[in-house]
Structure 1
Amino acid sequence: MAVRFSFLQGFNSSLNGILRAQKQTFETQQQVSSGRRIVTPADDPVASARIIQINQELSQLNQYITNADAVENRLALAENQIQQVSNLLVRVRELAIQGGGLALTQSDRQGIAAELDTRLEELVDLANTRDVNGEYIFAGFQGSVKPFERTDAGEFIYNGDDGQRKVQIASSTTIPISDSGKSIFVDIESAQKLIVPTVEARNTGNAFISTSSIDVTIDPADDLNNYERNAYPDDFIVIYDDDAAGLPPAPFYTIYTRADQLDNGTLDTPLATILDTGSPMVIDANAIDGAPASPDITNLGWSITINGSPATGDRFYVGSTEKQSVLTTVGKLSEGMKNLTDSVADELILDRLFSDTLINLDHAEARMSEIKAQIGARQNTLDSVRTLHEGVEQVNQEVLSEIRDLDYAEALSRLTLETFTLEAAQQSFAKISTLSLFNFLR
């Protein structure tokens, strides 16, 4: 059976063929100009989904590498500052040894103390180091808070916390980029057990503890035994009162031991009652006045100075610690060299001060070495993870290139063929479209 095509059918069929050839040529031309085999997801939906996945992985890797670069800079800064602290402590040791010379007078020691004060300022500046973003690197989580400040009483307080800020450098790997100044500079083993006086936050008066000290001339064995047996770790509470039945009608301070019992409402027998003779008031556990004292707690050898005006019931705590800040170590050395005289009694205190300082400096230098080792371990981890990321990135780029990138030789050959086909279709259509039965009826 013969199949007949109308002139319109033939025209449309030829036109559709030309349009298809044009579309194929245009798509191939887009591939050549973009260098991509897949220009739109419709070109290859499966490959397009794989490309999206690889790009997401590459983006994540790039973020990890960026994080690693930031961590590297932060660790390099911390390592440098800790090394500077170590170098500074070496100089402080030299000054301490120099100050302990037998031929030196108080005037000589004061000259050495002047340099110690300068070194102490340098040490505080190092402990308050900031990074390029203005954040303190030794403040724990509190990057915007200045970690170390010196009070009017000359004591150093730490305003940061114990936290470590961490940055993720891999899916399951984080690196600390900040350290607690408390663990680096404060919690350092001390040569001697120390007292830590604090003021109850709920006090209604304005009294504060300006100074504290331990009498180093007492028998160390008695001090240690009594201290640990009777008072450690919550040692003493000093309570102010302006009147009480059975006691002298004058303001006084009462010293209690065992803070846990006191806080639970069970008062121990007072260790001592000290009459308030004015402000500032020096409360000396070895100079008890006005009340009987327990014979087991008579050689503790501590004193605190309270300034200001306390209110009835205000509490002042005298705790104990086996830690001492390296800042405090240097500060005490300077103060002792400036203020202790050439008397026999002060010479004994100086000898103990120099001995304790050298031991404390040993502990501080050991802590700096420990911190540098920790930073070095982080840097090693950082290098390993970065090398891994770079390898994974290279593999992903190769896979992505195989899926997405164009084979130019194949594409150009195809473009030539498609162009030839399009031109042939256009020329043949031009000839066929002029054919008509009327051309033969003349």
Structure 2
Amino acid sequence: MMNRISSNMMYDQSVALMLSKQSKLNHLEQQLSTGKKIVSAKDDPVGSGTAVGMDRVLAELEKLGSNANAAQNRLGLQENVLSQAGELLQQVSDLTVQANNPALSNEDRKGVANELKAIKDSLLALANTTDGSGRYLFGGAADANAPFTVSNGIVSYNGDQTQRQVEVAPGTFIKDALPGSEIFMRVRTGDGTVDGAAASANTGQAVLTDISRDGSGSWDGSSYSLHFTAADTYEVRDARNAVIGTGTYASGEDITFEGLRVRIEGTPAAGDTFNAGQAGTRDVFATIDQLVQTLQMDTSTQAGRTAQQNALQGSIRDVRRASELMIDARAAGGAQLAAADDAASLREANTVTLKTSLSQMRDLNYADAIGQYKLEGAALQAAQTIFTQMQSMSLFNMIR
């Protein structure tokens, strides 16, 4: 095959060379002005696609960070509210101990009852705390309306039992604030497992001061009762009223039976009964209401005073358990805040890695680009010089 050499061919080649060099210079100018190595997808199709994927991951990480900030805000508010609620319950406990003092007059107890009513109102206000965005903190998923309402003095919970989970890092979730039913409503009485009380018909001066499991682990959850046959002897009866044991009573000494431990102080009368069994549940507001009613009991007789002391001892146990529940809830919230901090560290590490990879993929090496720009500029000048010289040349000059 033979190629013909002509003036037009040489002209076309020179023009194409100059245009090519000019295009490269324009591309380098764009890179230098933007600081980006990839000006358009055609510069590096594979790298450009990978970079777009990384951008999406970075956007997702930013969204997860926003989720984490919102969840941390709510968990922080929960911590503050529970701290204040715990302080209020400590005041209730102190007032209950104060009210148990036999030296207090009825007017003194009336003053204590008024303080307890004010504390209940404060607790209710805390239970209806909002998160700053108009959503109620302890309403669960139904947090658009106040979760706690009062009707005829009785507090009701209107939220649900849902505890949201929020994704705060890829594959990492933390729990949102607890629903109010788990903090304020479903509070176990007694020590949280076992509870007991004196029978209302008791006529002696014995007070149930403590009840719990004895540590042997043999209690199966059944209910029992202590029946005093005399001031210093008793029978233990099961739920069917069958006698399963007997013993001698001494004030202040522990009575153990079937895996339970009961402590009674004072002098019982024959026929007095104390019951023991599984703890029930009661909301903290009802516990305070019951305590207020206890302070209004008739104490004109010794039996009335003893009944009030038994009720106050029960209230002390119930308030103590409610305080422990607040502490448990704070600990659970603290664990979620710690998990959020760990997730933030993971997001930050992932973000740094992705941005470093994107920088290597997209960002321009100015030293290399400037060197290339100068090289292409010199090549363009050379091409222009050759083109200028070629214009004055002709094949006819070669055959003269």
TM-score class, shorter-chain normalisation, is 0.7 to 0.9
**One-letter amino acid of the counterpart of residue 19, structure 1:** L
Distance (Å, rounded) in 1 between the aligned partners of 2:383 and 2:226? 113
Distance (Å, rounded) in 2 between the aligned partners of 1:363 and 1:383? 30
Aligned residue in 2 for 1:343: 300
Matches within 5 A, 1:53-202: 53-152=53-152, 154-191=153-190
Shift of 1:408: 0.7
Q: 8 Å contact 1:106–1:340 — kept in the other structure?
A: no
Distance (Å, rounded) in 2 between the aligned partners of 1:228 and 1:140? 39
Q: 8 Å contact 1:140–1:163 — kept in the other structure?
A: yes
Distance (Å, rounded) in 2 between the aligned partners of 1:227 and 1:185? 33
Aligned residue in 2 for 1:218: 201
Aligned residue in 1 for 2:269: none
Deviations 1:86-117 (A, max 9, x none): 11111111111122221222222111222211
Distance (Å, rounded) in 2 between the aligned partners of 1:171 and 1:165? 17
**One-letter amino acid of the counterpart of residue 23, structure 1:** S
Q: 8 Å contact 2:32–2:364 — kept in the other structure?
A: yes
Correspondence 1:430 to 2:380: no
**One-letter amino acid of the counterpart of residue 91, structure 1:** Q
Shift of 1:407: 0.9
SS in 2 for 1:169: strand
**One-letter amino acid of the counterpart of residue 408, structure 1:** Y
Deviations 1:300-322 (A, max 9, x none): xxxxxxxxxxxxxxxxxxxx981
Shift of 1:22: 0.8
Q: 8 Å contact 2:7–2:395 — kept in the other structure?
A: no
Q: Which runs of 4+ in 1 moved over 4 A?
A: 1-4, 225-230, 434-440
Shift of 1:432: 2.8
Distance (Å, rounded) in 1 between the aligned partners of 2:40 and 2:99? 80
Shift of 1:343: 2.2
Shift of 1:191: 3.4
Q: 8 Å contact 2:141–2:164 — kept in the other structure?
A: yes
Correspondence 1:392 to 2:350: yes
Decide which moves more: 134-143 or 20-29.
134-143
SS in 2 for 1:175: strand
Q: 8 Å contact 2:177–2:333 — kept in the other structure?
A: no
Distance (Å, rounded) in 2 between the aligned partners of 1:3 and 1:417? 31
Distance (Å, rounded) in 1 between the aligned partners of 2:359 and 2:11? 43
Q: 8 Å contact 1:216–1:352 — kept in the other structure?
A: no
**One-letter amino acid of the counterpart of residue 166, structure 1:** Q
Deviations 1:187-227 (A, max 9, x none): 1112399xxxxxxxxxxxxxxxxxxxx9951369499x999
**One-letter amino acid of the counterpart of residue 157, structure 2:** Y
Shift of 1:25: 0.4
Aligned residue in 2 for 1:369: 327
Correspondence 1:381 to 2:336: no
Q: Structure 2: 5+ residue runs without aligned partners? A: 203-223, 228-235, 242-272
SS in 2 for 1:191: coil
SS in 1 for 2:174: strand
Distance (Å, rounded) in 1 between the aligned partners of 2:326 and 2:380? 78
Q: 8 Å contact 1:192–1:322 — kept in the other structure?
A: no
Distance (Å, rounded) in 1 between the aligned partners of 2:376 and 2:361? 23
Aligned residue in 2 for 1:209: none
Shift of 1:425: 2.0
Q: 8 Å contact 1:190–1:323 — kept in the other structure?
A: yes
Q: 8 Å contact 2:128–2:137 — kept in the other structure?
A: yes
Correspondence 1:49 to 2:49: yes
Q: 8 Å contact 1:32–1:411 — kept in the other structure?
A: yes
**Normalised TM-score (structure 2):** 0.74
Correspondence 1:334 to 2:334: no
Distance (Å, rounded) in 2 between the aligned partners of 1:227 and 1:16? 107
Aligned in 2, Cα 1:406/1:384: closer, same or farther, shift over 3 Å?
A: same
Deviations 1:346-395 (A, max 9, x none): 43442232111100011111111111111121122222222122112212
Instruction: Number of aligned residue pairs: give it.
Output: 331
Shift of 1:43: 0.6
2:364 to 401, 406, 413: 406
Q: Root-mean-square deviation (CA), in Å? A: 3.2
Shift of 1:335: 3.5
Q: Equivalent pairs: percent with the same residue?
A: 31
**One-letter amino acid of the counterpart of residue 339, structure 2:** T
Q: 8 Å contact 1:141–1:178 — kept in the other structure?
A: no
Q: 8 Å contact 1:37–1:406 — kept in the other structure?
A: yes
**Normalised TM-score (structure 1):** 0.68
